[in-house]
């Protein structure tokens, strides 16, 4: 998928409020909802229905669902960070990722954050050390 199309689709979500389990442009989304919305903008329908899920708190961080979904629907990407990649983040020392965003430049990303909504942020050293994987959207079929 062309990185500029991914960036354009992600930027359309800027300012969308944070809403757990939501995926509606302008009305609300969480980090997964942002990815789902970008997927729909790029491809149309989502590849599968997403079942309800809980907000993860400390002690629940061993669920590999986010990583497994990325491995199933996206393409793992090695090497240097690149525009248009999906990034997965470990939070709070968790062994599995529980947050995601989209790189809009090698050192900037868009993500949905509680209390802030969908924002563009720097990939600071604090964020960079939490990256647990980078993926790219597949080319349309």
CA distance 20 to 114: 9
Confidence grade of residue 53 (pLDDT, cut at 50, 70, 90): confident
pLDDT beyond 70 at 6: yes
> 83 φ, ψ to 5°?
-55, 135
**Predicted local distance difference test score (pLDDT) of residue 131:** 96
CA distance 129 to 18: 24
Which pTM does this prediction carry?
0.92
pLDDT beyond 90 at 75: yes
Q: Which of 73, 134, 81 is CA-nearest to residue 108?
A: 81
> Across the chain, what does the average pLDDT equal?
92
For each of the domains in the chain, give its residue range(s) and CATH number, in order of start.
3-136 (3.90.1720.10)
CA distance 30 to 18: 5
Reported as a single tens digit per residue, the pLDDT across 8-29 is 999 999 999 999 999 999 999 9
CA distance 7 to 68: 23
pLDDT beyond 80 at 59: no
DSSP state of 95: S
Q: How far is CA 50 from CA 3, 21, 23, 128, in A?
A: 25, 9, 11, 28
């Amino acid at each position: 998928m062309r990185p500029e199309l991914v960036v354009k689709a992600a930027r359309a979500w800027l300012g969308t409020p944070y809403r757990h389990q939501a995926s509606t442009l302008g009305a609300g989304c969480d980090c997964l909802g942002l990815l789902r919305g970008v997927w729909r903008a790029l491809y149309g329908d989502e590849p599968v229905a997403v079942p309800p899920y809980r907000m993860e708190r400390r002690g629940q961080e061993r669920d590999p669902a986010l990583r497994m979904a990325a491995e199933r629907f996206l393409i793992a990407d090695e090497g240097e960070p690149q525009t248009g990649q999906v990034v997965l983040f470990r939070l709070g020392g968790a062994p599995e990722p529980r947050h995601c965003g989209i790189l809009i430049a090698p050192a900037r990303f868009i993500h949905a954050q509680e209390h802030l909504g969908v924002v563009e942020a720097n990939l600071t050293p604090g964020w960079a050390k939490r990256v647990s994987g980078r993926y790219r959207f597949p080319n349309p079929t």
